[in-house]
Amino acid sequence: MLSQTNPKKIVVFTGAGISAESGLQTFRDSDGLWNNYQLEEVATPKAWAIHPEVVLAFYNERRKQAFEAQPNAAHKAVAKLEEQYEVIVITQNVDDLHERAGSTQVIHVHGELKYARSSKYDSPLFLYDKGKAIQFGDICDNGSQLRPHIVWFGEHIHHYELSKKHLETASKILVVGTSLLVYPAAHILEGASIDAEKIIVTQQLDKTPPGYELRKGNAAALVPNIVDGWLNNGKAAI
């Protein structure tokens, strides 16, 4: 059954590119994380089993950088949309820049740097805010080593069905700063309604998803323009 789109509902789907102008590295750009690290060495359950300290050090560094970073104009513009719309941010990012910019409904499908959890069981989340490091030997009350609350390659992503559902009823979809190369996260966009307005903002993209208008450039410059258009007359500014 096709869901009815809500004219006042927007979904913003983001990737590392929206945080690039806050000084945080993306993954696949020339200076990206996966050009400096072997992802198999730091972002898989196997890496965790072999050398947890190496994995902890990788995420401790990223947690510290994320804590020191500030939201940029793109994050702030997305938050400003809430003045007139219900805005669901679905992000692949593990920083909390959307929340710090003021967005109130943020779904993290790849986890969050500011939390740790048990490496053994589904445990409560432990806040490791302010860039705090998780050390080898930090254990939780079930006696297991704490791990970053991050989805590693090969693990299930979080909130997949919920995210797809939100896409079905959004009348506007704004995709910002993602290469759309990682699944199943990129499949979330398949939930979009055919009659929703769809814009994708990125510096470069191998293939523009069907039905999307591509705006090439920097998120911090392009996103505020689009947001102002939607807030002033409902039409995205060119």
Catalytic positions, written as ranges: 110
Residues 56 and 148 sit within 8 Å (Cβ to Cβ): yes
| Binding map of ligand APR across residues 84-123, x = CB under 6 A, - = no contact | --------x-----------------x-------------
Q: What are phi and psi of 226, to 5 degrees?
A: -60, -45
Calpha distance 143→148 (Å, rounded): 16
For residue 206, how many other CB atoms are within 10 A of its CB?
7
Stretch that binds ligand APR, among 17-25, 48-56, 127-135, 163-171 (CB under 6 A): 17-25
Torsion sign over Cα 16, 20, 23, 29:
positive
Examine residue 133 and tell whether it contacts ligand APR (CB under 6 A): no
* Residue 199 interacting with ligand APR (CB under 6 A): no
Which range of residues in 27-35, 54-62, 100-108, 116-124 is near ligand APR by CB under 6 A?
27-35
Shortest reach from residue 195's CB to ligand APR, in Å: 26
Q: Does 26 bind ligand APR (CB under 6 A)?
A: yes
CB of 93 to ligand APR, least distance (A): 6
- The answer to whether 91 and 78 have CB atoms below 8 angstroms apart is no
Q: Which is nearer to ligand APR, 110 or 114 (CB)?
A: 110
Residue 160 to residue 172: CA distance in whole angstroms = 19
Of the candidates 119, 163, 193, 202, which one interacts with ligand APR according to CB under 6 A? 202
Contact 3, 191 (CB under 8 A): no
d(CA 170, CA 88) in angstroms, rounded, equals 9
- Residues near ligand APR (CB under 6 A) are 15-17, 20-21, 26-29, 32, 92, 110, 177-179, 181-182, 201-205, 218-219
